[in-house]
Amino acid sequence: MFWTLELASHLEDAPWPATKDELIDYSIRSGAPIEVIENLQELEDEGEIYEGLEDIWPDYPSQDDFFFNEDEY
């Protein structure tokens, strides 16, 4: 499983919280690249509910990781 910011961005608007199957269904319906679907299929399916993208990709950068001041724009 290999995530990039570009691939992960396709799941930002997913209906969180969601199960693995719901995320795969959302990815297919939203036209996400096949790599996103393949990455989701590689997740271990124990009936787990994912609360957000950070549950799938723990290294996903948050807003705090960027070094710009939103108030300036």
pTM of the model: 0.80
Residues 2-58 have pLDDT tens digits of 888 899 999 989 999 999 999 999 999 999 999 999 999 999 878 889 999 989 988
- Please determine, for residue 71, whether its predicted confidence score (pLDDT) is greater than 70: no
Radius of gyration of the chain (CA): 13
Confidence at 72, pLDDT banded by 50, 70, 90: low
**Number of continuous H segments (helices) and E segments (strands) in the chain:** 4, 2
